[in-house]
Structures are given as structure tokens and as C-alpha cells.
Amino acid sequence: MQLTELAHHLHLSLPTLDADFSDVAPLHGSGGEDLSFITERKWLDKVLAGSVRAAAYLVPAELAEPLQQAQIAHLVTATPAWHIATTGVLLGRHTLNVLGIHPSASIDPSAQLAPGVCVAAKAVIEAQVVIGADSVIHAGAVIQQGVHIGARCIIGSNSVIGFDGFGYEYAQGRHQKIPHLGTVIIEDDVEIGANSTIDRARFGATRIGSGTKIDNLVQIAHNVEIGRHCLIVAQVGIAGSCRIEDGAILAGQAGLVPHVTIGRGARVGAATGVAGSVPAGSTWSGWYGQAHRDNMSQLAAVRALPAFIKKVQAFMKKWEEKDQQPG
């Protein structure tokens, strides 16, 4: 493919210097027949130094001028990482596809599947489930009774949507199971990775807003409400009745206690334990989550402790030696 041809496909401005390429590749490992991409200045410097050299590059506007001056072929795009993957598809690279409904899938007769729904091998879709158009259910996924899934959703392999939440009441000398009578509602354009679980509500619905993306190995408990266009990264655990507002990001292994709210556009760092609500637009981190700036200040202070202790010990030694001198 030629770079000018790709510009037409991606609706980008035409390059001033054309180039031919036959594959896509990351910067390190790319060769003279590859299209690669640059997202940071440090990688641009390597290209300009000649330590790596592809046939052409996708770059954001702020990194384009040095390539232009060096007469290196490139296309300007605000989303290089996305467009490099799109180019791979155009070149025939294989993606993870599910076509039609596999004969080994178990689908209850009462389930409603809109046109274009694809269901892979060994997936289970139980009674009264509703799935919107062009959604994809991957191998081994289980969609349990009464769950509603919107259009163009992706449910990863071995994920379970709609199992009972973790709810018990200690009575008559043992933990009594509380029946969960609600459901799960997943809105349009949601993606859920492999081996994730979303529990049904005790009453009402556990809800995932449109455009939200959920990684592998995520646990979302009963009656959680997640807004639109959120990012939930691997191994996050969200306890019951939490509210995640639009555009929030939970990094890997973050854990939320019940009933907290993560405000609109807030960010929670990796492995952060959240025991209180996070204000909109803020960034929290650390094991007992707090404002990221405060957490970093405390970590810096902890790291300085060994040197501080040595200074205190040296001072005390001098003080004791002085105290032992006669007179």
C-alpha cells in the first residue's frame, strides 16, 4: 500500500512525501517495508538519529515538523495507535472474529438475539436474555437469566454476566443466602474482557453505561452503576452499590469498598484501596486511597527515612560523646 492511498482510507491529509509499505510494526522491530507510529518525543529522537527506520510513520501534529524537515515519510493523525491497528486490518492482518452462531452454543428459546449477533463455541445464553444488534459473545461466556445487553457489545471468553451477587445474612447460626432478584443492564458499545464477572442486582439492575470498556479479570458486584465511557482495567474489584460516574478510570487492581462514588472524570491509580468517595476530576492513589499529590509526598518522605535515621543516629552519638566528657 502507498501512504497516499492510506491517507484516503483514513480520511487524513495527503503526505508531502509518499512511501510504499507492506506491513505494520512497532517502532522497535520495524524495517524498511513497515509502517510504524510515534507517540512520544523520545521515540521521535530515535527515528531522527537513524537508530530505527521504517518506511513511514503515523505521528501526532506536534511531532510532525522534525520529520518534515528530515524528509521522512509520515501521516499526521491525532490517534496514531488506533490508526496503525486500522491499517493492519486494511492490510489483511487477522483479528479475533466470531462469525454466526456456533452449533455448540447453548441458547434458551426465550432469549432474544437481534440481527447480527454472533455467539462462539460453548457460550451459554439463558432464559429471557436480550442482546442487541451486532454484539459478539465469545467462547465459554455465560449470560444468565434476564440480562439485557445492548448493540455492538463484546463479551469476552469465560466471562459471566448476571450471576448472584455476594450477599448473606447471618441468621439461625449460619450465613443465609440472600436471593438476588434483579438483573444486569449493559448499554450499547460496551466491551468486557475475558474472565470478568458482573453480578446481578438484589433489586433493580447492575448497570454498565454505553461506551465503557472493561478489561480481563474484573469483578463488579451487585447494584453497581458504571457511567458512560469509563475504563476499568484488569483485576479491579468494585464492591456492591458503588457508583462510577461518566469518564472515570480505574487502573489495575484498584479496589472499592461498598457504596463509594468515583466522580465524573476521576482517576484511581493502580492497586489503590478506595474507602471513601473520590471527587470528580481528581486523581487518587495509594493503598488507603487519597489525593495522588498527597500520596506521592508521603512516599517521598518514607523513602527519605533511612537517610534521616542515619543523621539522627550520628547526632545522638555526638551528643552522647559530648555528654560523657568531664566538666
| Per-residue exposure over 113-144, b if at least 16 CB sit within 10 Å of its own CB, e if not | beeebbbbebbbbbeebbbbeebbbbbbbbbb
Three cell numbers, residue 184: 444486569
Q: Point out the residues that are catalytic.
A: 222
Residue pair 132/112 in contact by the 8 Å Cβ criterion: no
Q: How far, rounded to the nearest angstrom, does the alpha carbon of residue 280 sit from its chain's CA centroid?
A: 19
Q: Is the dihedral of CA 83, 89, 94, 100 positive or negative?
A: positive
Three cell numbers, residue 274: 478506595
Residue 159 CB neighbour total at 10 angstroms: 25
Question: Under 8 Å CB-to-CB from 239, ≥6 apart: which residues?
Answer: 221, 255, 256, 257, 258, 259
How far are the Cα atoms of 103, 172, 243, 257 from residue 176, in angstroms, in the given order?
39, 8, 26, 22
- The DSSP code sequence of 187-251 is -TT-EE-TT-EEEPPSSSEEEE-TT-EE-SS-EE-TT-EE-TT-EE-TT-EE-TT-EE-TT-EE-
Residue pair 59/37 in contact by the 8 Å Cβ criterion: yes
What radius of gyration, in Å, describes the C-alpha atoms of the chain? 27
Angle subtended at Cα 141 by Cα 139 and Cα 144, rounded to the nearest 5 degrees: 150
Residue 242 CB neighbour total at 10 angstroms: 21
Quote the CA–CA distance of 73 and 53 in Å, as a whole number.
Answer: 11
Query: Which residue in 129, 149, 141 sits closest to 104, CA to CA?
Result: 141
